[in-house]
Amino acid sequence: MVIASLLFQIGLASALTSGEAKQAWLSAMQARISADAAYKQAQLDYAANKTPENDQKVIDNAKTVLGSALNEVEAWLNWKNQEAKDSDAPAELKVKIGNDVEKNLVKITTLRGDVAKIKTRVDVAGVFLKMVGAYVELLTDVARNTGAAWVYTGNQIADKTADYEIKLRTTANGLVDNTEILAKLDIAKSQIDLARTQINAAETSYKLVILPGTPLVKFAEGNSYLRQVRVNLLAAAGQLQESFNLIVSHK
Amino acid sequence: MKKELTIVGLILAAGLIFLGAGCGQKSTENVNADANTNAAVNEETENVNAVNPGVTEEELNQLKSDIDELEYDDLNTLTQ
């Protein structure tokens, strides 16, 4: 039954486009926010009047909000999975992301069973803590995969920038009075080399986005390297444009 | 007889005017054709003289746009 439910969920998610999957996640988030408001009201009612009925209302609302949170996380995972499928990431990375998403969807299914078994306030606290742990785990998986996809894209763009630099340099070498053009191309090349060093550093950081460890810190570290890559590549592209202008206006 | 000659003269004159107009028209077309040919030759000569950089301006613009679009969000914004 659990496996059938999981297969249905995966099938349903794969039928969505990335935009639709994101919309489904936003709707699930809204439902969780509403459920959370109802849970807080139930707690206020119980604080004002501690009857067994109000106590049961708190437990029932807690179960609803925990279930809604699981729906939200599941929708978010489906969106991230679809986003990866729609991207130009390499096939092996897409498979890895798909496997991680499936692994986390199984955890969500297990947690749904735990929520259904909640009978007391102590059970609510226990399941909540379990969910927080699972959420950190799935965030770690998604962050590591996202970083790997960003490194791939960064390398692709650095390769293209280097290819254009070589083509412009080949043309410039055939021109007389090419000193200014070659100087600009030298700057572009050094920026591309810097970008490649930063991409490698980012890749090392993203590989350390694991548990146990400091996945959030390592993920932020990788992002910081890639932001510098963006600066380097923009500087290189600016030099390529100036070289291009000098070449086409060359007499 | 004089009247007949006048009519023939008028017909001849009209014929000459038509012919003249035709020649004038042809002459203008020739001038335009010559101008177009010269422009094409000039353009071709310019293309032959221009340096091919090996990369197009569109490719460079696309590259800049691709780099511009790179965004790296930390986890707090990933889940928003």
Model ipTM? 0.71
- Chain length of chain A: 251
Statement: residue B22 has pLDDT above 60: no
Contacts of A111 (CB under 8 A, 6+ apart): A70, A127, A130, A131, A134
pLDDT tens for B33-70 read 555 555 554 454 444 457 889 999 999 999 999 999 88
Nearest by Cα to A194 from A170, A241, A158: A158
Q: Is any Cβ of chain B less than 8 angstroms from the Cβ of A121?
A: no
| Residue A98: per-residue pLDDT | 87
Alpha carbon distance B42, A121 (integer Å): 88
Alpha carbon distance A58, A31 (integer Å): 18
Chain A residue numbers with beta carbons less than 8 Å from the beta carbon of B75 are 139, 143, 216, 219-220
Contact flag A143-B75 (C-beta cutoff 8 Å)? yes
Alpha carbon distance A234, A26 (integer Å): 34
| Residue A113: per-residue pLDDT | 95
Closest partner residue to B55 (CB to CB) among A139, A143, A168 is: A168
> Nearest-CA distance from B23 to chain A in Å?
44
Alpha carbon distance B50, B33 (integer Å): 26
Nearest by Cα to A138 from A79, A89, A185: A79
Contact flag B75-A157 (C-beta cutoff 8 Å)? no
| Residue B72: per-residue pLDDT | 79
Chain B residue numbers with beta carbons less than 8 Å from the beta carbon of A203 are none
Chain A residue numbers with beta carbons less than 8 Å from the beta carbon of B70 are 150, 153-154, 157, 226, 229-230, 233
Alpha carbon distance A197, A228 (integer Å): 10
| Residue A190: per-residue pLDDT | 98
Contact flag B79-A139 (C-beta cutoff 8 Å)? yes
Eight-state DSSP code of residue A211: S
Contact flag B53-A240 (C-beta cutoff 8 Å)? no
Residue pLDDT tens, chain A, 251 long: 444 444 445 444 456 788 899 899 999 999 999 999 999 999 999 999 999 999 999 999 999 999 999 999 899 888 888 888 887 888 888 888 888 889 999 999 999 999 999 999 999 999 999 998 888 888 898 889 889 989 999 999 999 999 999 999 999 999 998 999 999 999 999 999 999 999 999 999 999 999 999 998 999 999 999 999 999 999 999 999 999 999 999 87
| Residue B80: per-residue pLDDT | 52
Query: % helix / strand / coil in chain A, to the nearest 5?
Result: 90, 0, 10
| Residue B16: per-residue pLDDT | 43
Contact flag A146-B59 (C-beta cutoff 8 Å)? no
Count A/B contacts: CB-CB distance under 8 Å. Answer: 77
Closest partner residue to A230 (CB to CB) among B53, B54, B70 is: B70
End-to-end CA distance of chain B: 107
Scanning the structure block, which residue is given the tokens 């990431």?
Answer: A89
Closest partner residue to B60 (CB to CB) among A216, A227, A237 is: A237
| Residue B79: per-residue pLDDT | 57
> Rg of chain A's alpha carbons, rounded to an integer?
26
